[in-house]
């Protein structure tokens, strides 16, 4: 229960930081739209080639898989730029400045090639895990789940590392793993808490959309589904931005940099408890 309480405190602190710069909520929406567009544009040639070929063999057409993989990389790149932008904006706020969408994206674009490397690495890992799951039955599914969880945990701080230390994807992964081994970070509990919060927040709009469809009235269906879609997009944008703010705070704490005073309520000495024999981290800074 204490870990869940810490997760709630950290979530509230992340939200408090985010509310100082609400315009950053727009960043995940823009990044999500860019990711969808990038995937469609890059993957389209492969789909067209497969459609133009023999329909019986289109599913095994190597060109299709190549373009789909490239599309996945492009989408992951756009998503990484969006997350990196919010991380940069949150850090700017914690340094006492007033971030904007422009300044946040400027910082992320400065690491564009590094973030592309990260997108390639993340996509390759996802594809390998997908092949394990498909080829080795139950054992493959278990291995894929464990591998995905391990990669997600160890790479939790990879984007802040790339943004603030300007290193490549492999170095960022190693550095992220090292930072997380040095602290008892609450990233697992926070991630679970954010996932649960997202799920609970999505229930009302989903129900609204379902009820709208169930009426059988076209106008009500359009209105219900439209409102539900907008609400879901906003929820995902807010929770994504909160997660990026938390990553920025955790990275700064782990590297002895000042953290926004909003995190004082989260009791940083408990939430980011140092390992035995290590000094406690810095106190929250007043910005």
Give the three-class secondary structure for 136.
Answer: coil
DSSP state of 110: T
* Of 19, 113, 34, 134, the residue nearest 75 (C-alpha): 34
DSSP state of 81: H
The total number of structural domains in the chain stands at 1
Please check whether residue 6 lies inside any domain of the structure.
yes
Return the pLDDT at 189: 65
Please check whether residue 192 lies inside any domain of the structure.
yes
Task: State pLDDT tens for residues 134-183.
Answer: 888 888 899 999 999 889 888 989 999 999 999 999 999 999 988 877 55
Return the pLDDT at 285: 45
Whole-angstrom distance, CA of residue 186 vs CA of residue 7: 7
Task: State pLDDT tens for residues 81-132.
Answer: 999 999 999 999 998 889 999 999 999 999 999 999 999 999 999 999 999 9
Residues in a beta bridge with 274:
183
Mean of the pLDDT values across residues 185-199?
Answer: 71
Please check whether residue 33 lies inside any domain of the structure.
yes
The whole-model pTM stands at: 0.82
Residues in a beta bridge with 284:
259
Q: How many residues does the chain have?
A: 287
Residues in a beta bridge with 285:
260
Half-sphere exposure of 31 (CA within 13 A, CB side): 27
- List the domain range (segments joined by +) for residue 226: 2-272
Whole-angstrom distance, CA of residue 148 vs CA of residue 182: 21
pLDDT for residue 287 is more than 70: no
Return the pLDDT at 270: 54
User: Can you read off the two tokens belonging to residue 230?
Assistant: 């907008």
Phi-psi region of 284 (alpha: psi -120 to 50; beta: other; left: phi over 0): beta
pLDDT, greater one: 266 or 7:
7
* Of 48, 28, 24, the residue nearest 36 (C-alpha): 28
Whole-angstrom distance, CA of residue 81 vs CA of residue 83: 6
| 8, 33 Cβ separation under 8 angstroms | no
Residues in a beta bridge with 260:
285
User: Can you read off the two tokens belonging to residue 151?
Assistant: 């990669």
Please check whether residue 193 lies inside any domain of the structure.
yes
Please check whether residue 278 lies inside any domain of the structure.
no
Mean of the pLDDT values across residues 283-287?
Answer: 42
| 190, 156 Cβ separation under 8 angstroms | no
Whole-angstrom distance, CA of residue 256 vs CA of residue 254: 6
Please check whether residue 95 lies inside any domain of the structure.
yes
pLDDT, greater one: 47 or 120:
120
Return the pLDDT at 54: 57
Name the residue with tokens 């550095």. Answer: 175
Please check whether residue 243 lies inside any domain of the structure.
yes
The burial class, CB within 10 Å (0-12 / 13-18 / 19+), for 134 is: exposed
Please check whether residue 280 lies inside any domain of the structure.
no
Sign of CA dihedral 153, 154, 155, 156: positive
Task: State pLDDT tens for residues 226-284.
Answer: 999 999 999 999 999 999 998 898 888 888 888 887 776 444 555 455 443 444 444 44
Whole-angstrom distance, CA of residue 246 vs CA of residue 17: 9
Residues in a beta bridge with 183:
274
Mean of the pLDDT values across residues 48-54?
Answer: 69
pLDDT for residue 56 is more than 80: no
State the helix-helix crossing angle for 26-52 and 218-254, rounded to 10 degrees.
110
């Amino acid at each position: 229960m204490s870990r869940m309480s810490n997760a709630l405190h950290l979530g509230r602190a992340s939200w408090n930081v985010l509310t100082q710069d609400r315009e950053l909520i727009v960043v995940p929406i823009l990044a999500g739209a860019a990711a969808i567009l990038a995937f469609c544009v890059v993957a389209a040639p492969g789909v067209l080639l497969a459609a133009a070929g023999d329909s019986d063999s289109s599913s095994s057409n190597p060109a299709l898989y190549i373009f789909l993989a490239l599309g996945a990389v492009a989408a992951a790149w756009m998503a990484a730029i969006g997350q990196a932008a919010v991380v940069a904006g949150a850090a700017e706020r914690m340094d006492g400045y007033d971030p904007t969408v422009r300044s946040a994206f400027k910082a992320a674009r400065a690491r564009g090639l590094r973030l592309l490397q990260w997108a390639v690495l993340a996509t390759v890992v996802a594809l390998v895990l997908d092949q394990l799951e498909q080829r080795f039955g139950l054992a493959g599914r278990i291995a894929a789940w464990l591998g995905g969880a391990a990669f997600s945990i160890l790479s939790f701080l990879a984007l802040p590392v790339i943004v603030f230390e300007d290193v490549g994807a492999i170095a960022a992964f190693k550095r992220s793993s090292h930072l997380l081994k040095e602290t008892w970070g609450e990233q697992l509990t926070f991630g679970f808490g954010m996932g649960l919060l997202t799920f609970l927040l999505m229930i009302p709009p989903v129900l609204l959309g379902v009820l709208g469809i169930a009426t059988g009235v076209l106008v009500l269906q359009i209105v219900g589904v439209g409102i539900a879609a907008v609400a879901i997009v906003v929820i995902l944008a807010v929770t994504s931005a909160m997660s990026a703010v938390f990553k920025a705070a955790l990275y700064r704490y782990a590297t002895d940099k000042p953290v926004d005073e909003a995190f004082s309520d989260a009791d940083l000495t408990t939430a980011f408890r140092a390992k035995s024999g290590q000094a406690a981290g810095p106190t929250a800074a007043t910005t």
